[in-house]
Amino acid sequence: MEQNLQGKVALVTGAARGIGQAIALRLAQAGAELALCDVQADWLTETAAQGAALGRRAACYAADVSDGAAVQAAVDAVLKDFGRIDILVNNAGITRDGLLARMSESDWDRVIEVNLKGTFLFTRAVTRPMMKQRAGAIVNVASIIGLIGNAGQCNYAASKAGVIALTKSVAKELAKRNIRANAVAPGFISTHMTDQLPEEVRQAMLAAIPLARFGSAQDVAEVVHFLASDAAAYVTGQVVSVCGGMVM
Protein backbone atom coordinates (compact mmCIF):
# COMPACT_ATOMS: atom_id res chain seq x y z
CA MET A 1 0.00 0.00 0.00
CA GLU A 2 0.98 3.60 -0.61
CA GLN A 3 2.92 5.59 2.01
CA ASN A 4 3.28 8.61 -0.26
CA LEU A 5 1.49 11.64 1.20
CA GLN A 6 1.71 13.79 -1.92
CA GLY A 7 -1.14 16.28 -2.08
CA LYS A 8 -2.17 15.78 1.54
CA VAL A 9 -2.21 18.43 4.26
CA ALA A 10 -0.92 17.49 7.71
CA LEU A 11 -1.70 19.54 10.81
CA VAL A 12 0.85 18.84 13.55
CA THR A 13 0.59 20.32 17.05
CA GLY A 14 3.63 20.90 19.23
CA ALA A 15 5.70 20.96 16.05
CA ALA A 16 8.40 23.39 17.16
CA ARG A 17 10.93 20.86 18.39
CA GLY A 18 11.59 17.29 19.49
CA ILE A 19 9.15 14.58 18.50
CA GLY A 20 6.69 17.02 16.95
CA GLN A 21 9.32 18.51 14.69
CA ALA A 22 10.57 15.07 13.64
CA ILE A 23 7.02 13.98 12.82
CA ALA A 24 6.31 17.09 10.75
CA LEU A 25 9.50 16.72 8.73
CA ARG A 26 8.95 13.00 8.16
CA LEU A 27 5.48 13.72 6.78
CA ALA A 28 6.98 16.46 4.60
CA GLN A 29 9.57 14.03 3.28
CA ALA A 30 6.68 11.76 2.28
CA GLY A 31 5.07 14.63 0.37
CA ALA A 32 2.68 16.28 2.82
CA GLU A 33 2.13 20.02 3.06
CA LEU A 34 2.54 21.25 6.63
CA ALA A 35 0.28 23.25 8.93
CA LEU A 36 2.40 23.68 12.04
CA CYS A 37 0.91 24.63 15.38
CA ASP A 38 2.49 25.57 18.68
CA VAL A 39 1.70 27.89 21.57
CA GLN A 40 4.02 30.52 20.05
CA ALA A 41 4.20 30.56 16.28
CA ASP A 42 7.68 32.11 16.22
CA TRP A 43 9.04 28.89 17.74
CA LEU A 44 7.97 27.10 14.57
CA THR A 45 10.16 29.00 12.14
CA GLU A 46 12.94 26.40 12.13
CA THR A 47 10.51 23.55 11.45
CA ALA A 48 8.81 25.57 8.72
CA ALA A 49 12.16 26.43 7.13
CA GLN A 50 13.20 22.78 7.07
CA GLY A 51 9.85 21.82 5.59
CA ALA A 52 10.22 24.47 2.90
CA ALA A 53 13.72 23.16 2.15
CA LEU A 54 12.09 19.82 1.36
CA GLY A 55 9.95 21.60 -1.21
CA ARG A 56 6.80 21.62 0.89
CA ARG A 57 4.49 24.44 1.76
CA ALA A 58 4.73 25.06 5.51
CA ALA A 59 2.64 27.57 7.46
CA CYS A 60 2.73 28.39 11.17
CA TYR A 61 -0.21 28.92 13.52
CA ALA A 62 -0.14 30.04 17.14
CA ALA A 63 -2.63 28.38 19.49
CA ASP A 64 -2.85 27.28 23.09
CA VAL A 65 -4.23 23.79 22.55
CA SER A 66 -6.26 24.02 25.77
CA ASP A 67 -8.18 27.08 24.52
CA GLY A 68 -11.20 26.00 22.49
CA ALA A 69 -11.63 29.31 20.69
CA ALA A 70 -7.94 29.45 19.76
CA VAL A 71 -8.00 25.88 18.48
CA GLN A 72 -11.05 26.49 16.32
CA ALA A 73 -9.51 29.70 14.96
CA ALA A 74 -6.31 27.83 14.08
CA VAL A 75 -8.20 25.05 12.29
CA ASP A 76 -10.34 27.61 10.43
CA ALA A 77 -7.16 29.40 9.33
CA VAL A 78 -5.60 26.16 8.10
CA LEU A 79 -8.73 25.34 6.12
CA LYS A 80 -8.74 28.82 4.62
CA ASP A 81 -5.06 28.61 3.68
CA PHE A 82 -4.88 24.99 2.49
CA GLY A 83 -8.49 24.11 1.69
CA ARG A 84 -8.41 20.78 3.53
CA ILE A 85 -6.90 18.80 6.42
CA ASP A 86 -6.08 15.17 5.68
CA ILE A 87 -3.90 14.32 8.67
CA LEU A 88 -4.04 15.52 12.27
CA VAL A 89 -1.19 14.70 14.63
CA ASN A 90 -1.95 15.64 18.23
CA ASN A 91 1.54 15.84 19.67
CA ALA A 92 1.46 18.89 21.96
CA GLY A 93 2.04 17.92 25.58
CA ILE A 94 3.65 18.97 28.84
CA THR A 95 4.75 17.50 32.15
CA ARG A 96 4.43 18.86 35.67
CA ASP A 97 5.90 16.00 37.67
CA GLY A 98 5.54 15.51 41.39
CA LEU A 99 4.46 12.97 43.96
CA LEU A 100 0.71 12.69 44.44
CA ALA A 101 0.75 13.83 48.07
CA ARG A 102 2.42 17.09 47.11
CA MET A 103 0.93 17.71 43.67
CA SER A 104 -0.93 21.00 43.35
CA GLU A 105 -4.32 21.22 41.71
CA SER A 106 -2.87 23.68 39.20
CA ASP A 107 -0.21 21.16 38.12
CA TRP A 108 -2.86 18.46 37.78
CA ASP A 109 -5.22 20.74 35.85
CA ARG A 110 -2.65 22.15 33.45
CA VAL A 111 -1.35 18.74 32.35
CA ILE A 112 -4.88 17.45 31.79
CA GLU A 113 -5.84 20.65 29.94
CA VAL A 114 -2.92 20.53 27.51
CA ASN A 115 -2.44 16.80 27.00
CA LEU A 116 -6.02 15.51 27.06
CA LYS A 117 -8.31 18.48 26.51
CA GLY A 118 -6.01 19.79 23.78
CA THR A 119 -6.22 16.47 21.94
CA PHE A 120 -10.01 16.53 22.27
CA LEU A 121 -10.31 20.12 21.04
CA PHE A 122 -8.20 19.66 17.92
CA THR A 123 -9.85 16.34 17.12
CA ARG A 124 -13.31 17.88 17.47
CA ALA A 125 -12.32 20.83 15.30
CA VAL A 126 -11.15 18.68 12.37
CA THR A 127 -14.00 16.17 12.58
CA ARG A 128 -16.51 18.02 10.40
CA PRO A 129 -14.04 18.87 7.61
CA MET A 130 -12.81 15.28 7.55
CA MET A 131 -16.38 13.94 7.56
CA LYS A 132 -17.19 16.12 4.55
CA GLN A 133 -14.10 14.74 2.80
CA ARG A 134 -15.08 11.24 3.91
CA ALA A 135 -11.43 10.64 4.64
CA GLY A 136 -8.85 11.46 7.26
CA ALA A 137 -6.18 10.10 9.58
CA ILE A 138 -5.76 11.16 13.19
CA VAL A 139 -2.65 10.12 15.11
CA ASN A 140 -2.40 10.94 18.80
CA VAL A 141 0.91 10.90 20.64
CA ALA A 142 0.28 9.16 23.94
CA SER A 143 2.96 7.49 26.10
CA ILE A 144 3.76 4.13 27.63
CA ILE A 145 3.19 5.94 30.94
CA GLY A 146 -0.49 5.99 29.96
CA LEU A 147 -0.32 2.18 29.78
CA ILE A 148 1.76 1.33 32.85
CA GLY A 149 1.72 4.44 35.07
CA ASN A 150 4.74 5.97 36.77
CA ALA A 151 5.45 7.20 40.26
CA GLY A 152 5.63 10.98 40.34
CA GLN A 153 3.61 11.36 37.15
CA CYS A 154 0.00 10.63 38.10
CA ASN A 155 -1.23 13.69 36.19
CA TYR A 156 0.76 12.83 33.06
CA ALA A 157 -0.22 9.14 33.27
CA ALA A 158 -3.89 10.03 33.63
CA SER A 159 -3.73 12.44 30.70
CA LYS A 160 -2.07 9.93 28.38
CA ALA A 161 -4.38 7.08 29.45
CA GLY A 162 -7.21 9.46 28.60
CA VAL A 163 -5.70 10.12 25.18
CA ILE A 164 -5.64 6.37 24.52
CA ALA A 165 -9.30 5.94 25.54
CA LEU A 166 -10.26 9.03 23.51
CA THR A 167 -8.48 7.60 20.47
CA LYS A 168 -10.43 4.35 20.65
CA SER A 169 -13.76 6.15 21.05
CA VAL A 170 -13.03 8.51 18.15
CA ALA A 171 -12.05 5.53 15.98
CA LYS A 172 -15.41 3.89 16.65
CA GLU A 173 -17.38 7.09 15.99
CA LEU A 174 -15.69 8.08 12.75
CA ALA A 175 -14.90 4.77 11.06
CA LYS A 176 -18.04 4.89 8.92
CA ARG A 177 -16.78 8.14 7.36
CA ASN A 178 -13.43 6.53 6.51
CA ILE A 179 -11.62 8.48 9.23
CA ARG A 180 -9.05 6.50 11.17
CA ALA A 181 -7.74 7.30 14.65
CA ASN A 182 -4.70 5.65 16.18
CA ALA A 183 -2.16 6.41 18.90
CA VAL A 184 1.55 5.96 19.35
CA ALA A 185 2.94 5.39 22.82
CA PRO A 186 6.62 6.38 22.97
CA GLY A 187 8.86 4.95 25.66
CA PHE A 188 12.18 6.48 26.75
CA ILE A 189 13.13 8.77 23.90
CA SER A 190 16.60 10.32 23.71
CA THR A 191 16.42 14.06 24.33
CA HIS A 192 18.66 16.78 25.66
CA MET A 193 17.16 16.04 29.09
CA THR A 194 18.00 12.33 29.03
CA ASP A 195 21.49 13.15 27.79
CA GLN A 196 22.06 15.16 30.97
CA LEU A 197 20.94 12.42 33.37
CA PRO A 198 23.52 10.84 35.71
CA GLU A 199 25.04 7.73 34.20
CA GLU A 200 23.60 5.45 36.91
CA VAL A 201 20.09 6.73 36.15
CA ARG A 202 20.59 6.22 32.43
CA GLN A 203 21.80 2.68 33.00
CA ALA A 204 18.80 1.87 35.19
CA MET A 205 16.48 3.13 32.46
CA LEU A 206 18.32 1.18 29.77
CA ALA A 207 18.11 -2.00 31.84
CA ALA A 208 14.33 -1.91 31.47
CA ILE A 209 14.51 -1.78 27.66
CA PRO A 210 15.02 -5.13 25.86
CA LEU A 211 16.59 -3.40 22.84
CA ALA A 212 19.03 -1.75 25.28
CA ARG A 213 18.90 1.74 23.80
CA PHE A 214 16.84 4.87 24.06
CA GLY A 215 14.50 5.58 21.19
CA SER A 216 14.84 8.58 18.91
CA ALA A 217 12.29 11.11 17.79
CA GLN A 218 12.75 9.63 14.31
CA ASP A 219 11.68 6.21 15.59
CA VAL A 220 8.37 7.73 16.64
CA ALA A 221 8.03 9.76 13.45
CA GLU A 222 8.36 6.66 11.27
CA VAL A 223 5.44 4.97 13.02
CA VAL A 224 3.32 8.13 12.81
CA HIS A 225 4.07 8.30 9.07
CA PHE A 226 2.85 4.74 8.60
CA LEU A 227 -0.35 5.33 10.59
CA ALA A 228 -1.05 8.56 8.68
CA SER A 229 -0.60 6.89 5.29
CA ASP A 230 -2.81 4.68 3.14
CA ALA A 231 -0.52 1.79 4.05
CA ALA A 232 -2.44 1.73 7.34
CA ALA A 233 -5.86 1.89 5.64
CA TYR A 234 -7.15 -1.06 7.70
CA VAL A 235 -5.68 0.10 11.01
CA THR A 236 -7.81 2.12 13.41
CA GLY A 237 -8.35 2.32 17.16
CA GLN A 238 -4.89 0.90 17.84
CA VAL A 239 -2.05 1.90 20.18
CA VAL A 240 1.45 1.25 18.88
CA SER A 241 4.12 1.28 21.57
CA VAL A 242 7.44 2.63 20.35
CA CYS A 243 9.47 1.60 23.35
CA GLY A 244 12.15 -0.92 22.41
CA GLY A 245 10.11 -3.74 23.92
CA MET A 246 9.69 -2.13 27.33
CA VAL A 247 5.94 -2.79 27.21
CA MET A 248 4.92 -6.18 25.85
Q: pLDDT tier at 155 (50, 70, 90 boundaries)?
A: very high
237 Cβ contact partners less than 8 Å away, ≥ 6 residues apart: 167, 168, 171, 172, 175, 181, 182
Residue 110 has pLDDT above 70, yes or no: yes
Q: Is 95 left (phi over 0), alpha (psi -120 to 50) or beta?
A: beta
Q: What is the pLDDT of residues 31-40, one digit of tens each?
A: 999 999 999 8
**Torsion angle, alpha carbons of 11, 15, 18, 24, to 10:** 40
Q: What is the pLDDT of residues 77-94, one digit of tens each?
A: 999 999 999 999 999 999
Q: pLDDT tier at 1 (50, 70, 90 boundaries)?
A: low
CATH hierarchy code of domain 9-188+220-239: 3.40.50.720
Active site residue 234: no
Q: Which of 61, 120, 156, 188 is catalytic?
A: 156
- The per-residue DSSP string of 199-222 comes to HHHHHHHHHT-TT-S-B-HHHHHH
Tell me the C-alpha distance between 55 and 47, whole Å.
Answer: 13
Q: pLDDT tier at 193 (50, 70, 90 boundaries)?
A: low
Instruction: Out of 77-81, 182-186, 189-193, 241-245, pick the least confident.
Output: 189-193
Tell me the C-alpha distance between 102 and 76, whole Å.
Answer: 40
